[in-house]
Chain A
Amino acid sequence: MDYGAYDQAGGQPSSPPPPRAIKILLAGGFGVGKTTLVGAVSEIKPLRTEELLSEGSVRTDSTQGVEAKTTTTVAMDFGRISLRSDLVLYLFGTPGQQRFWFMWDELAIGALGAVVLADTRRLADSFPAIDYFERREIPFIVALNVFDGARRYAIEDVRTALDLEPGLPMVLCDARSRESAKEVLIALVEHVLATASQESVSGIA
């Protein structure tokens, strides 16, 4: 049999399989350092989303003066890290306000997990993001961006203020530092791994 001819007719060109794409979400209020952190650890690329706010989103939106039908242009922080030729990490940074939840809903699907970037000067800005990930059971950690000149708080005090679950990791970081940003991502993956092994253990028991 002439397999060569068959291959030529029906075979696909031999190209390497596309790399696996892994998503990590980065949430936090405006000015908390999301763009800085993404830029510190990856090549940052521009990404815009221009969506209609559904009426549902508008209703939960606390912004005054937003009409029932409106549009919004949002710039996302978008970073790409090639871990290996067949494994690529994508970082998506989105604003933490509830009005952007329509973006998170699709970003969260299939995501490895999320990092909530917090600033001790504006801790309340991270509440919506923490609520969001808790309610949807998306694994996340909190990274506290330690700004120059900001008052240093005991990490336990911040944990209490954020009302974090006991097992939830919180790390300090300097969003400008590549090493520090890397450590944040490592802490997230370690947390997701630990959670996954706990689940498989309790599944057996």
Chain B
Amino acid sequence: MPADDERWLDAEAGPVVRPYALTQGRTRHTGASFDLVATVMATRARVADPSSMAPEHMNVLQLARAPTTVADIASDVDLPLGVVRIILADLRELGLVAISTPVTPATRIDTHTLREVLNGLRGL
């Protein structure tokens, strides 16, 4: 198993260079992991130095003004999920967004919620 930083040093890495250039080549994000449908919300913290932020970071931050999800953001900015996760983790480290995952692997969705989903679907 190669070290994380060696994974990029082969010809096969070509197609991912462009999007991952935004992340300085990082493929793993920092901090706790988060789900595809984890809620993302901008905090009220001010960006200390907006000129130091990449446009993509500002873009993602903008989208998180109203509560949204990781998948929604990735779709809206049209960047691969992996890249968006790293951008979000960067923003979280700066205290600019809060990311919450409502579910844990062990928990099943409770029957009350299941019934609500069922009623919602029937009402479509």
Interface residues, chain A, with chain B CB atoms under 8 Å away? 13, 15, 18-23, 41, 45-52, 55, 67, 69-71, 73, 78, 80-81, 83-84, 87, 89-90, 92, 106-107, 109-110, 112, 182, 185-186, 189-190, 192-193, 196-197, 200
With contacts A47-B74, A69-B12, A71-B15 known, is A18 near B114, CB below 8 A? no
**Which residues on A sit within 8 Å (CB–CB) of B16?**
50, 52, 71
Q: Which 4 A-B pairs have the closest CB atoms?
A: A83-B120, A110-B103, A18-B67, A50-B80
With contacts A46-B75, A83-B116 known, is A109 near B12, CB below 8 A? no
**Which residues on A sit within 8 Å (CB–CB) of B111?**
193, 196-197, 200
| Interface stretch of the complex, out of B31-39, B53-61, B89-97 | B31-39
Q: Which residue of B lies closest to A190 (CB)?
A: B118
Q: Are A90 and B7 touching (Cβ within 8 A)?
A: no
Q: Are A182 and B37 touching (Cβ within 8 A)?
A: no
**Which residues on B sit within 8 Å (CB–CB) of A18?**
39, 41, 67, 100
Q: Which residue of B lies closest to A90 (CB)?
A: B37
With contacts A21-B69, A90-B37, A109-B103 known, is A193 near B114, CB below 8 A? yes
For the side of the interface on B, what is the size category? 35 or more
**Which residues on B sit within 8 Å (CB–CB) of A19?**
67
**Which residues on B sit within 8 Å (CB–CB) of A83?**
116-117, 120-121, 123-124
**Which residues on A sit within 8 Å (CB–CB) of B124?**
41, 81, 83, 182
**Which residues on A sit within 8 Å (CB–CB) of B10?**
67, 69
Interface-centre pick from A19, A52, A73 (highest chain B CB count, 10 A): A52
B13 near A: Cβ within 8 Å? yes
Bound Cα distance from A200 to B72, whole angstroms: 34
Interface-centre pick from A19, A67, A189 (highest chain B CB count, 10 A): A189
Q: Are B7 and A189 touching (Cβ within 8 A)?
A: no
Q: Which residue of B lies closest to A186 (CB)?
A: B121
Bound Cα distance from A47 to B75, whole angstroms: 5
- Nearest-CB distance from A128 to chain B (Å)? 21
Q: Are A109 and B75 touching (Cβ within 8 A)?
A: no
**Which residues on B sit within 8 Å (CB–CB) of A197?**
111
Q: Which of B71, B83, B104 contacts A47 (CB 8 A)?
A: B71
With contacts A69-B2, A71-B16, A109-B105 known, is A89 near B35, CB below 8 A? no
With contacts A67-B12, A69-B7, A70-B12 known, is A84 near B120, CB below 8 A? yes
Q: Are B39 and A196 touching (Cβ within 8 A)?
A: no
- Nearest-CB distance from B13 to chain A (Å)? 6
